[in-house]
Structure 1
């Protein structure tokens, strides 16, 4: 593998800051995680204080500078800090000593300060490190190298430098994943493999290799470096897949609490069949408690036992209404319906003994035609009604009319029957036809 230089990767290898500026930036960036006694902080509370201080400076950015008192007042009002003012003062002193917090202007006894932008960059990197272990930086380096190749005249040295660095990072990740898959515990593998889940990483590397061959077809050394980078990415992808497969295989064959999350167990308790849930207790050993009974307890229980008797009670008699007889109402309704049908038939006949109803039915809509034909059939079936209905076998079809299919219908008046119906006590002139 080609050696990796101490300087960082750049978009253009010829455009670098001065040595003094690089040292100042490095000191300021690392100062966000520095302690008084040296080294870096390990308590997340210090990171919380750093974030609150940065947000306090950002809230007063329109003023051009801010005092320490103003920052602390903003933190107490908006951030609800879980730390004391002494902890805030301690971090402020560290940031001043590492030049992360600087005087706003170069004057003596300056009370207003400014927060260096590298502190904000540090917080952004911390956010990424909470879910990814540096893989985002590798993707950003691939994108910067792709931007170099998209130029009309890409810088060969910068491209080669970035490709070698990407190859080294891929190999480092692959070695770490291989060690976890082979020797690491399942819990460590589960916690570590989440940071390697990304999309289109292989496509980025293949496109980068293709563009290197397109821009530098005769540069054997650079093409070889690009091929080695592709091989390193494939090795890294192989072990990333092996890590995921080991976790999935373990999760599919056991219900260990170290494998499944609390949400997965909750979902299984809600939707999994009882046979599958019972598998979780196959490896458990438990002694069922014994029921302790003596003769005295059995005698006391028998003496205190009283069998339950079910007594059936007659349901209450429903209270009837004295205003109206329900059976009489049914009879009255039948008489009214018969009277209505007879009046409708008399109106159709108009003092004649025979009337053709075919045209009347053809001009009617379906509901009225059905109602009219039903009334005529009911009169024909009534032995006390002096009417008869004749229906022909001819089928009349008219696709333009409301009633498209119809047989000829004729109503006849017959002689008055010998047996007369009972008188109509409640017949009325309303409801002769359907509105």
Structure 2
């Protein structure tokens, strides 16, 4: 759009501002966001009532607030036009109307012109230069704040102003030399605002509908109020100890916050009670349902459907499949026929016998290996054989322990308690071991047949 004025011509002879269709194949299709859905949940009547209460301190008569919410939104669209336009010397009414047309505003031309004249007379649009009939305007910053506040007050119901009061009070308390009079005024303002919100919630709980309570609960979704009020009270106590009027104001603020919080909980409880009894799925927003689906457990999600009533879907049967099933159907016999007795094949091996054969083979293999180490002697020192390698040492110890534990085998394993360490050997450390065979009586020095028989008796015990 250029800086020169662009003449406006109605489309098809009508006086409405319309949007020309974009025939570009790659044109972006705007989708409705979750925030738009939340805005639409607020009824027009409730929105107008909020605006009337918001503008009442500034209005001269009861008809000062517009009846059409779209006219209020028109001021916000004008802000967007000024921000996106390339001109830095103001815009004319013709350029503003052209910008509204590109934004898709469908209002009669007479309504648009009357609204622009009203914004000019009220000072929302100011002349760019102090000249008569110069025809180019800019937005006064105060008008910007009013347009944004009108949108914000419908979303939050004025709760943001209470947050601003709490922040201003905290900032005033954190100054190096806070003014007691100013702090007392801030504390009283916060208490007054909390009581106004609490009394409004109490009225809604007593006489409001579930839809009103749902919207009120979303507006008052500030769980940090309790923490902020407690911090303010601590700051007052720390900075003004002994100033009873400030301490009493801090205590009264805490009591007001507790009363406010109790009304918030009462509103939520009534919404949950009515919504649960009536199976109202409007209690939560689409974003809250999406969050629950992603974060809640399976048991919590299953609990939602315990009270739902629904019909089971009908079974779909293809005609061709039905005909095929009828042709292949055979009546079931009512006589029970005993199944044939299974006969094991003659060469079926016994699994227990196979285990016993394998165990006997393993025991015989161990015995032959240890007898080879004994070489016909009654005992042998296993330590040199175990020093060959770790695998050999493990195999010898395992075989000797297995035969020592078997009561059918005449072998005794004697492991010394002391540890032998040799860093140069393949097996760096081990306990010396001896293998003794108790069924052979061969007299040797230091070991008698009585000792061998005693060893055998002790093992049998």
TM range (shorter): 0.5 to 0.7
Give 1:250-289 correspondences, 5 Å limit: 250-256=274-280, 259=283, 272=302, 276=306, 278-279=308-309
Q: Which residue of 210, 216, 224 corresponds with 1:192?
A: 216
Aligned counterpart, 2:365: none
The alpha-carbon distance between structure 1 residues 63 and 34, as it changes in their structure 2 partners (threshold 3 A), is: farther
Cα distance change on mapping 1:139 and 1:179 into 2, 3 Å: same
Alignment partners' CA distance in 1, 2:328 and 2:207:
70
Cα deviation code 1:358-399 (max 9, x no counterpart): xxxxxxxxxxxxxxxxxxxxxxxxxxxxxxxxxx95899999
- In the TM superposition, what are the counterparts of 1:11-410 in structure 2 within 5 Å? 38-60=63-85, 63-77=88-102, 79-256=103-280, 259=283, 272=302, 276=306, 278-279=308-309, 308-310=326-328, 393=369
Q: Secondary structure at the match of 1:42?
A: coil
Q: What TM-score comes out, normalization by structure 2 length?
A: 0.50
- The structure-2 alpha-carbon separation of the partners of 1:34 and 1:68, relative to structure 1 and needing over 3 Å to count, comes to farther
Contact 1:247–1:259 (CA under 8 A) maintained in structure 2? yes
Residue-by-residue CA offset, 1:121-170 (whole Å, 9 max, x unaligned)? 12322332232111111111111111111111112222111211111111
Instruction: Provide, for residues 250-278 of structure 1, a one-character-per-residue CA deviation record: whole Å limited to 9, x for no partner.
Output: 3444424665778969989xx75898355
Cα gap change, 1:116 to 1:210, in 2 (>3 Å): same
Does structure 2 conserve the Cα–Cα contact (< 8 Å) formed by 1:173 and 1:236?
A: yes
- Compared CA separation, residues 180 and 224, structure 1 to 2 (3 A): same
Indicate if the aligned counterparts of 1:53 and 1:75 stay in contact, CA closer than 8 A. yes
1:404-434 deviations in whole A, cap 9, x for unaligned? 9999xxxxxxxxxxxxxxxxxxxxxxxxxxx
Shift of 1:116: 0.7
For residues 83 and 404 of structure 1, the distance between their equivalents in structure 2, rounded to whole angstroms, comes to: 98
Q: Is the 8 A contact 2:210 2:275 kept in 1?
A: no
- Is the contact made by 1:36 and 1:94 (CA closer than 8 Å) also made in structure 2? no
The CA distance in 2 between the partners of 1:147 and 1:402, in whole Å, is 78
Query: What secondary structure sits across from 1:63 in the alignment?
Result: coil
In structure 2, what is the Cα distance between the partners aligned to 1:399 and 1:92? Answer: 104
Q: Tell me the SS of whatever aligns to 1:99.
A: coil
User: What secondary structure sits across from 1:102 in the alignment?
Assistant: strand
Q: What CA distance in whole angstroms lies between the structure 1 residues aligned with 2:169 and 2:106?
A: 43
Total equivalences in the alignment: 275
Q: Contact between 1:251 and 1:260, CA under 8 Å: does it hold in 2?
A: no
Distance 1:87 1:400, change over 3 A: farther
**Residues 205 and 270 in structure 2, CA contact (< 8 A), matched pair in contact too:** yes
Q: Give the equivalent residue in structure 1 for 2:458.
A: none
SS of the equivalent of 1:114 reads strand
Distance 1:397 1:207, change over 3 A: same
- Matches of 2:388 and 2:216, distance apart in 1: 77
Higher RCO (CA-CA < 8 Å; seq separation 6+): 1
